[in-house]
Structure 1
Amino acid sequence: MKVEPTPWLRPGPSPRQRRDDVLVGAAVAAVALLNLTLANSAGAFVLGPPPAWPEQVFWTLACTVPLVVRRRWPAAVAIVISAAFIAAQFRQSPEQQVSHGALYAALYTVGAWSADRIRARRVRIGIIAAMFGWLALALVLAVADLPPDAFAEANGPLEPLLASLVNGVLVNVFFFGFAYLFGDTAWTAARRRHELEVQAEELRRSQADAAQVAVMGERVRIARELHDVVAHHVSVMGVQASATRRVMDKDPDKARTALAAVEQSARTAVDELRRMLNLLRASGPDERPGGVGIDRVEDLVTSVRDAGLAARVGVYGQPVPLPESLSQAAYRIVQEAITNTLKHASATEVDVRVRYHATELEVDVADNGRGAPTYGTAGVGLGLIGMRERVTAHDGTLEADSRPGGGFRVRARFPLVRVPA
């Protein structure tokens, strides 16, 4: 079942806006009282003989003072001011100019600030209808009381009475229409501003989530690099140190050779760590020229031979230039497979093959050790996880399992992306 979105409700006025309303309402009331004083002083009693001065003040304040809470209770304020305005005209209070402005401001506020849109529409339409009803009644009463010479000096193309009626109606349509439309426009603008703020907040959250994902991805990449760099050389050094311990007394020359290999492996590990740290500090691409690549597989095999393992390497097909990231990924997979052989397989032989096919690059590392039950079962171990991540990043496939005749095999296939030599 489709859930309809909750209609937006404009929040109420802030404390600062409430204070502004009080100041504006008080200022409007003061101006209205000044206008009332001037009208009495000039004898400008358009509606007829005015009531007593205290009643005039009362109606003037009744039409203006409610503005101090216009944004807190917009519908109530508009109704009160409308009723006071009609009553003031009925009682022939001479203050009209400022009271008209207060009425239009109250009508605008209903459209701009009322949370209940249906109620806001009904209140405004009701007030406008009441005002035009009162206008019609006032015009009828005024026409009935017109003296015979009321339009003695009229000289326009229209009938004087008709011109007066049209003028009164048009002016009121113009002002009431603008108050109605501007109120709706202000409410729509506030809603759109709210939607923009919500979208901006969602964008900030999305950016924060993306940054979190990027941080986690970077941590995984660092962990993978550290594992690949450190594990291989430490494993080689462990095997060589073990061999040194066994032959130190019987064959000092072999022990020295093994210690030299340990030293060389340590230097290589430090060099690769330094290169990797420089790469992580760099702001450029993930892989830089000059790093390890598939063309350095022979160096891996040489270090394995120095550790006492019978190792072979074969390159089949015509080698082609590869993207640096693809070349390094293939190298790391071979390195991790050899590391697993040294650490877990108890193997005596390892066979490394690199095949350049027409559409793919294949690396194949097989040993004659004890196979999957001893190490590297599918889905287990950081080494295999890192291999799968590297292969997946290049849209390749990985096979890692026991060989039918004994031992373990790692085979990775990458789509061959050629680059200019």
Structure 2
Amino acid sequence: MRIDRARFHDSLFAVAMAAVSVWLFLSADSALLEPGGGQAVGETRDADPFGAVLVLLACAPVAVRRRWPLATLCAGLLPETLLTGLGYGSGAAAAPVLVLLYSVASFRGLAVALCALLLSLLAYAFAGALSPVTGGNWSEHLVAFIVLLAVWGAGRSLRLRRAYLEELKDRAARLERAYAADTRAARAEERSRIARELHDVVAHHVSVMTVQAAAARRVLAADPDMAREALSAIEHTGRMAMSEMRNIVGVLRTDARAELGPQPGMDDLPALVEQMREAGLATRLSVEGDARPIPAGVDLAAYRLIQEGLTNSLRHAGAGAKAVVTVRHGPRELDVGVEDDGRGPASLSGPPGHGLVGIRERVALYGGILSIGPRPGGGFEVRARFPLKDSP
């Protein structure tokens, strides 16, 4: 649709230019070309229908100048050369030739534009050599050369500006697509992080509450006091879970103020181990090496790994199983692990659960090495080694 509109505008422009050029050709004062005019010496040809036809032929290619710029320039140079060579003078046909030269420079590459400029100069020189009208001085030829060069330069300038604007639009589109891709990646990463946090909080506390509730049900009739303690532990665990979930949701909601508090870390391991003991899993904490400052992200990731490992041991190890939490502080690394002597998960052939996926993501995020699987002597083990690049 844009091409048709441009062609329609060019057609109107060609008609208007033809009308003006023919009128100028027919009303031109031939006395200006006589010896007294000071511009030419020799016979000049009066305006006639044949000359008017040549003027029309010079203006006609303007209607399709955008589609075939170089071809239309050649088509316009031919009648213009004939007009000058036959003695009519080239003033009436000069305007359409300049428009066509401008079109080639504006819509075609540099090589084609240079060819168009060279053709225009050669046609001007050839027509001047054939013309019976003589007496023009070098200043007139210099002005003609400057006009042709200026029109050609204007066309090239417009083409370069158009190309520059297209490059800016393309660059803006690429930046917009890159921004959209970065936004999607950031949202996906944020959703993954939230899913990990929610799973770690919910799965751990619900697993502890389930085990405690089952123990309370078994001893409810035989030992009401123990059942009462189990129910109190369930209530305490539930309140902890609600508090942590409230903190996470409060961060997500912009219209609510979250309860500010530190994220759990390695310093909270004794409380976690004690909680697992109260839930019925015999757990022991072993710390080796001198404790060093740990980056906050690694601190949280290591705690969540131990928490998930203990939760799995509580759920799958079976009655009477024991778990050992090992923490080794090295000069450039932190080694943490959870191992038990139970029966382990029933099967490892299926797809991994959300907890194991979250552990892998956390460890990979900080460049750690993760090992998950059954132990040679029985039981199950979850172990990770985190590099501490920022450690002194």
Q: TM-score range by the shorter chain?
A: 0.7 to 0.9
1:240 aligned partner: 212
Q: Is the 8 A contact 1:345 1:374 kept in 2?
A: no
Instruction: Give the distance between the partners of 1:260 and 1:18, measured in 2 at CA.
Output: 86
Matched, 1:78 2:51: no
Given candidates 283, 286, 293, the residue that maps to 2:265 is: 293
Q: Is the 8 A contact 1:320 1:418 kept in 2?
A: no
Q: Is the 8 A contact 2:326 2:338 kept in 1?
A: yes
Q: Is the 8 A contact 2:107 2:159 kept in 1?
A: yes
Query: Measured at CA, do residues 346 and 316 of structure 1 come closer, stay the same or move farther in structure 2, by a change above 3 Å?
Result: same
Given candidates 86, 93, 106, the residue that maps to 1:99 is: 93
Matched, 1:400 2:389: no
1:39 aligned partner: 28
Given candidates 107, 126, 139, the residue that maps to 1:133 is: 126
**Residue type at the aligned position of 2:74:** I
Once the two structures are superposed, residues 211-232 of structure 1 have per-residue CA deviations (whole angstroms, 9 ceiling, x without a partner) of: 3322322222222222111111
Instruction: Give the distance between the partners of 1:17 and 1:339, measured in 2 at CA.
Output: 73
Q: Is the 8 A contact 1:39 1:45 kept in 2?
A: no
Instruction: Give the distance between the partners of 2:339 and 2:316, measured in 1 at CA.
Output: 13
1:150 aligned partner: none
Q: Is the 8 A contact 1:240 1:259 kept in 2?
A: yes
The percentage of aligned residue pairs carrying the same residue is 37
Instruction: List runs of 5+ in structure 2 lacking aligned partners.
Output: 35-39, 255-259
Aligned residues: 379
Given candidates 330, 333, 345, the residue that maps to 2:317 is: 345
Q: CA deviation at 1:243?
A: 0.8
Q: Is the 8 A contact 2:85 2:128 kept in 1?
A: no
Query: Measured at CA, do residues 52 and 165 of structure 1 come closer, stay the same or move farther in structure 2, by a change above 3 Å?
Result: closer
Instruction: Give the distance between the partners of 2:309 and 2:240, measured in 1 at CA.
Output: 18
Matched, 1:388 2:388: no
Instruction: Give the distance between the partners of 1:412 and 1:101, measured in 2 at CA.
Output: 82
Q: What SS is found at the alignment partner of 2:357?
A: helix
2:292 aligned partner: 320
Q: What SS is found at the alignment partner of 1:395?
A: coil
Q: What SS is found at the alignment partner of 1:93?
A: coil
Given candidates 139, 142, 147, the residue that maps to 1:167 is: 139
Q: What SS is found at the alignment partner of 2:205?
A: helix
Q: What SS is found at the alignment partner of 1:14?
A: helix
**Residue type at the aligned position of 2:123:** A
1:368 aligned partner: 341
Instruction: Give the distance between the partners of 1:86 and 1:363, measured in 2 at CA.
Output: 92
Equivalent residues in 2 for 1:151-300, closer than 5 Å? 164-280=136-252, 290-300=262-272
Once the two structures are superposed, residues 29-65 of structure 1 have per-residue CA deviations (whole angstroms, 9 ceiling, x without a partner) of: 343244335524x844467444454444433333334
Instruction: Give the distance between the partners of 2:116 and 2:330, measured in 1 at CA.
Output: 80
2:257 aligned partner: none
Q: What SS is found at the alignment partner of 1:308?
A: coil
Q: Is the 8 A contact 1:28 1:98 kept in 2?
A: no
Given candidates 58, 64, 70, the residue that maps to 1:69 is: 64
1:25 aligned partner: 14
Query: Measured at CA, do residues 37 and 129 of structure 1 come closer, stay the same or move farther in structure 2, by a change above 3 Å?
Result: closer
Q: CA deviation at 1:339?
A: 1.0
Superposition RMSD in Å: 3.1
Instruction: Give the distance between the partners of 1:268 and 1:184, measured in 2 at CA.
Output: 73
1:109 aligned partner: 103
Which is further off, 399-408 or 16-25? 16-25
Instruction: List runs of 5+ in structure 1 lacking aligned partners.
Output: 1-11, 147-163, 283-287
